[in-house]
Structures are given as structure tokens and as C-alpha cells.
Amino acid sequence: MYRIGHGYDVHALSEGLPLWIGGVKIECSFGAVAHSDGDVLIHAICDSLMGALSLGDIGKHFPDTSYEFKNIDSKILLERTMSLVKARGYAIVNVDCTLALEAPKIGPYNSHMRDVLSAIMSISPDDISIKATTREGLGFVGRKEGVEAWSVVLLKKSNLL
Ligand code: MG
């Protein structure tokens, strides 16, 4: 039995903050404004996993009003989300993500991100796709005011894998 899920996230960007994407720290002068570490890609992936199993969204499971999640490493949120998935007897088949970010180029980090995420998600790096695009200077992403991410994930009953 298969389940498909979609996730989306957005964060504002501000000078002087760390920028975490896909569990990796990106070298640049600005970062995400967030209650957690603001890892937009991991948040979108978590939302897609929760969506696939109709478990609500990341805000329901990890509320940004809770001190427990203040500045939390989003890799911990992904680990907890994977626990929810595994507890329901599902495993990931593959995940496909898109990131919209005007700068910097994240291509050089792609392989490291997929290695980090695959270890948490119990799949091969080859089963994780992370694509990146700019907004061609248009809108809030184009003005470098924010970053967006989308994720689509396919789950399979783990006893069928
Ligand atoms: Mg978020």
C-alpha cells in the first residue's frame, strides 16, 4: 500500500543569522528567521511525511510556541517525524524536493545534504532528490527576503519493501 505526501515551507531571511538547509550549514552572511534552526527543506520534508499519513502538519507536532523547540536542530524534528512514519509501518520509497533561493548557490552542498538526510530517513542518497532554483529576481525570494521549499514523498508499507 502506497501513500503520497506533499509539503511546503517558507522562511524569511535576515543578515547575521545562520542558514541551515537540508541539515547542512550553508556559508553565507544571512540566514532564516525562525523559532527552530529554520531549515526550510527539512520542514517541507517533515510536512510531506506527515501529509502522506494524514497526521496533520509540522506546526501541530512541533509548535513554534513551545520552548522545547526553540532553536532546535531540525534534524531532530525529522528523526521524530520518521518515528511517526515507522510506528505506522511505513518506509520511504523516495523523496523529491525543490528549493527556491536566490543566493547562494547550494549545488556544492547537494551531495552532503543527501548523505545527511538519507541517514535519518533510512534510505539511499539516490532516493533523495534536491533540486534548486532561483526566482529570477521576482518576488520576495527574488529580493532575497525569503527562501521556499517543496517536498513530495512516496511511502510504502514497510513489510512490502
Ligand atoms: Mg519552517
User: Nearest 5°: phi and psi at 110?
Assistant: -55, -50
All residues with CB under 5 Å from ion ligand 1: 9, 43
Distance 59 CA to ligand 1 centre (A): 9
Residue that wins the pLDDT comparison between 70 and 120: 120
Residue 63: pLDDT band with limits 50, 70, 90: confident
CA 106 to chain centre: 14
Distance 124 CA to ligand 1 centre (A): 25
Distance 12 CA to ligand 1 centre (A): 10
Task: Check pLDDT > 70 for residue 150.
Answer: yes
Per-residue confidence (pLDDT) for residue 160, from 0 to 100: 54
Residue that wins the pLDDT comparison between 10 and 69: 10
Q: How far apart are CA 5 and CA 76, in angstroms?
A: 20
Distance 142 CA to ligand 1 centre (A): 19
Distance 11 CA to ligand 1 centre (A): 6
**pTM as predicted:** 0.95
**Which run of H or E residues covers position 51?**
helix 40-52
Mean pLDDT, residues 60-64 taken together:
87
Distance 24 CA to ligand 1 centre (A): 15
Residue 69: pLDDT band with limits 50, 70, 90: confident
